[in-house]
Each structure stands twice: as structure tokens, then as C-alpha cells.
Amino acid sequence: MAASIPFRASPALVVALLVTGCGSPFDPGRTITLPITTVDAPAAVNAGDGVVVRVTVESGGCRVFQGVQAQRAPGRLTLTARGHDSSGPRVSCPADIRSDVREIRIEPPLADPFIVAARQPDGSETTRTIRVFQ
């Protein structure tokens, strides 16, 4: 039978955990919407063709990019960049800014006009209109 030794964190360990960047075991953070700074889409496509849209997502500091969510409706694709923010009053975040580029392929059929909307953290949308020619 193995002896059980209770774990007791030393004050130095607790201080080290609290000041080491974004990872705080006491503040798990929250899921956030990150800014999509650029939406590149073609101005026009032929009916039956697919489209590749490129988006640039800004993250950094205690904000970590996790992925782009896409919701499709007739004539529209809405994109939301999701991330995780672990900032807080006792967390020291690095002063870096990252730009991640992702490509999203839109398969036909596409209605004319087709709108690509990128949701921003403040609730606004950045939109691009793609004309679809028959």
C-alpha cells in the first residue's frame, strides 16, 4: 500500500503561477469574438463555381485564436472568429499582436448577390458582396 502524501503548494509556487503570462489556474478565461481585420473575396464568380474567401483574424496578448465559425443561409455566409481570453486583474499578458489568415471555401449554389459577412466583437459586420453570373 502506497503512502499518501498531501500536496501543499508553497507560496513561491502560487506566486509563480499567478505571474507567468496568460495561464492562471484560478481564472480559466472566457470565450470571445476576435476582430476579423480583412475579408478578401472575389467581386464576381460564374454560377456553379465555388469561392474561396480569405479572412485575417487579429489575436495576441492573452487572446488566443481558436477558429472561424461559418453559418450559411440562402445568399449569405456569416463568419465569426472565436478565441479565448485569459486576461484578468492578476494576469500579465505579453504585448504581441498576431494575424492569422484562414481560407473558407463556399460551395455552390450561390445566389446573386451573395453576401459574406464578418462579425466583429462590437456586434457590427464587415461585408463583401459577390456577384454571381449565370
pLDDT in tens, 107-122: 999 999 999 999 999 9
Q: Tens digits of per-residue pLDDT, 23-55?
A: 445 546 789 999 999 999 999 999 999 999 999
The CATH number of the domain holding residue 75 is 2.60.40
DSSP H helical ranges for the chain:
11-19
Please state the pTM of the whole predicted model. Answer: 0.77
47 falls within a domain: yes
Q: How far apart are the first and last CA of the chain?
A: 77
Domain span at residue 127?
29-133
pLDDT at residue number 48? 92
Query: How many structural domains are present in the chain?
Result: 1
39 falls within a domain: yes
| Sign, Cα dihedral of 118, 119, 121, 123 | positive
Judge if the upstream peptide bond of residue 109 is cis by omega within 30 degrees of 0: yes
117 falls within a domain: yes
72 falls within a domain: yes
Residue with the three cell numbers 457590427: 124
19 falls within a domain: no
104 falls within a domain: yes
13 falls within a domain: no
